[in-house]
Structure 1
């Protein structure tokens, strides 16, 4: 079963997120205290194994480097699509978007020549609240 490896936040958009002990997911808002809260992309998720593969190209890559809120080991194995729902930390999330337009000026793209968020980043809205920590299990609903 997929497990959360890190939870991350940033105070400003365009910044890499930093790991924290836990995050509070607020219904139809996103991550409390995160710069992207209240936007159309309330919560961002990225597979830990994809992050690790990028770390082979750039050793300084760590959870939050792609501005993801949840770094989840085994996330890609779920094969999630828009409209699918998952539970984590008591919260219920609905996938609203897969990938995003990446600004070409990001440090990782400039250095490595690639960014995985446009292909692999998942975005979700919060349907039920919860507190999420590293170690929490993520499970597909229905």
Structure 2
């Protein structure tokens, strides 16, 4: 079963996100209160624990979810293999995959910490189709 491990948020771009108890995701916006939210195709970022496990961050003391600046940390689904246009029911929401990976910006906090960032290769981005709440433990279902 695929599920959400964490919902993560940050007030500014270019920094790791912090986990929150639950998040509200708005149509044409993304996670309310998150710096990356807005009316564009990369409203919500997702990264699988499977991808995080491939990095050297496992050895970094104090490392936890959100450090790749992902809004949703997931488990049990290989996100980067999903075709663009795939719809995912996550918690109360419905999202559509809009992009696989991204170009890492200069000064990436993760790259500076360990010399590598997996988000550009294996993270995905979605737009919100149906709004609602998402919390850790919510199931992720391919629609």
1:31-46 to 2 correspondences below 5 Å? 31-40=31-40, 41-46=42-47
Q: Which segment is superposed worse, 74-83 or 21-30?
A: 74-83
Asked if 2 retains the 8 angstrom alpha-carbon contact of 1:85 and 1:93, the reply is yes
Q: Structure 1 residue 124 and structure 2 residue 126: aligned?
A: yes
1:24-103 to 2 correspondences below 5 Å? 24-40=24-40, 41-54=42-55, 55-76=57-78, 79-103=81-105
Asked if 1 retains the 8 angstrom alpha-carbon contact of 2:48 and 2:79, the reply is no
Aligned-partner SS, 1:13:
coil
Structure 2: runs of 5+ lacking an equivalent: none
Structure 1 distance, partners of 2:37, 2:9, is: 10
Aligned-partner SS, 1:110:
helix
- Partner in structure 1 of residue 18 of structure 2: 18
CA 1:39 to 1:115, structure 2 compared with 1: closer, same or farther past 3 Å?
A: farther
Asked if 1 retains the 8 angstrom alpha-carbon contact of 2:80 and 2:123, the reply is no
Q: Structure 1 residue 6 and structure 2 residue 13: aligned?
A: no
- Tell me how far 1:79 sits from its aligned partner: 2.8
- How big is the alpha-carbon RMSD for the aligned residues of Structure 1 and Structure 2? 1.6
Structure 2 distance, partners of 1:128, 1:104, is: 33
Query: What TM-score comes out, normalization by structure 1 length?
Result: 0.91
- Tell me how far 1:16 sits from its aligned partner: 0.9
Query: What TM-score comes out, normalization by structure 2 length?
Result: 0.91
